[in-house]
Structure 1
């Protein structure tokens, strides 16, 4: 309530007290005129105060509506902020998950690089072993060829030796040999 409204209520109380004193006084035409003026003054104060109170009430209603509307906006904005915070939290969780997956993928690639490197070493060893096997096979082939030739020579020698042994053991050939062909 404004200062003016408080002053009007104070004036009304003062006028009512003065009116009560006038009512208790002697009834004269001057007295009636003063009563009538006092009553008119009180009615005017009541009208002005009522109008001001209505204005204040409407102003309070408008203010209350404005405050209520502002409160609704604050609540709506709080809801928006909470929603945005939830979305931000969800995005942060998604980013952490992606970051974790990237780390896992990085570890997989590191392990794969180690395996490829190890496979390269094994491949080089296999290649070296193949080269060694190729050289050994060529040498073995050469040795087999030599052995075959030697076997052939040995076979021939053995065959000749067997024939000689057979002939030496043969009584006819032994006698022919000792008699001198």
Structure 2
């Protein structure tokens, strides 16, 4: 393989390894995301968990976009690889098809986990950490002082109850707002993943057509090579026949000369 062809082959292999690494990393992060989604609706479902899910979704969204761009760049590089022979290009095209298939699979897993996450976040609210009530102390002095302390304690308890109710309302409202924002973000990400799916479908069609073209070129080259070999064989046979005829003529002439000489000597 010429030096330029070897360099182009190495570049395509390096690009393919980079895409493979991105797909592997995304597969690992999707598995972690699914484990976090499984916790939703359980006793461990907290606001901290949902914040973690948000971060995981954002990270996976970035990885999906990066992998999509890398897959497109690799497809373009394989298509424009004029410095490699057809068989090498066909090999890289087949490798690219496998990477697209792997990427498509991990995207499906991510989208499925996204939908499960949206469903569970819309069904359940995160658990609230239990707080301890701040009860006052009573002096055991008896009489009017004890009654006053009891009344004061009751008033304080009522105030605490009202404050607790207000706090729970505010807390629940905040949870609902966070849940709605989270669901909207998930729906937006699902839409982005759908767009990547569409891009991959176009790539698969283009790559399939390119592979068919490469295979046709390989077959055509093989046919031309075979025809050339046939022509060479035919030419070789013709040359052999011509040599044989020449030898026969020479022998016939020699025989005629010998006969003529013998006749003259008589």
State the alpha-carbon separation in 2 of the partners of residues 45 and 106 from structure 1: 90
Match of residue 80 from structure 1:
220
1:104-143, aligned counterparts within 5 Å?
104-125=244-265
Secondary structure, in 3 states, of the residue corresponding to 1:21?
Answer: coil
Once residues 47 and 24 of structure 1 are traced to their aligned partners in structure 2, the CA distance between those partners, rounded to angstroms, is 29
Aligned residue in 2 for 1:43: 183
Q: Does 2:174 correspond to 1:69?
A: no
Tell me the alpha carbon deviations over residues 96-143 of structure 1, each in whole angstroms, 9 at most, x when there is no partner.
Answer: 211211121121121122023224314533xxx5xxxxxxxxxxxxxx
Task: Tell me, in whole angstroms, the C-alpha distance in 2 between the residues paired with 1:114 and 1:106.
Answer: 12
The one of 21, 25, 28 equivalent to 2:126 is: 21
2:89 match? none
| Structure 1 or 2: more helix by fraction | 1
State the TM-score, normalizing by the size of structure 2.
Answer: 0.38
List runs of 5+ in structure 1 lacking aligned partners.
130-181
Give the number of aligned pairs.
124
Q: Find out whether 1:34 has 2:139 as its counterpart.
A: no
1:99 aligns with 2:204: no
**Following superposition of structure 1 onto structure 2, how do residues 142-161 of structure 1 map, counting pairs within 5 Å?**
none
The equivalent of 1:159 in structure 2 is none
**Cα displacement (A) at 1:80:** 0.6
In 2, Cα distance between the equivalents of 1:24 and 1:84?
A: 78
**Aligned-CA RMSD value:** 3.7
For 1:24 and 1:119, the matched residues in 2 are separated by 127
Distance 1:65 1:23, change over 3 A: farther
Stretch deviating more after TM superposition (67-76 or 22-31): 22-31
> Structure 1 length normalisation: TM-score?
0.54
| Cα 1:22/1:37, change in 2 over 3 Å | farther
Deviation at 1:75? 1.4
Query: What CA distance in whole angstroms lies between the structure 1 residues aligned with 2:204 and 2:250?
Result: 67
2-structure distance, mates of 1:99, 1:111: 18
Deviations 1:7-26 (A, max 9, x none): 4266876x94xx64258987
Q: Name the CA shift for 1:42/1:23 in 2 (closer, same or farther; >3 Å).
A: farther
Residue matched to 1:151:
none
Question: Rg bigger for which structure?
Answer: 1
Name 1:90's counterpart in structure 2. Answer: 230
Pairing 1:53–2:158 present: no
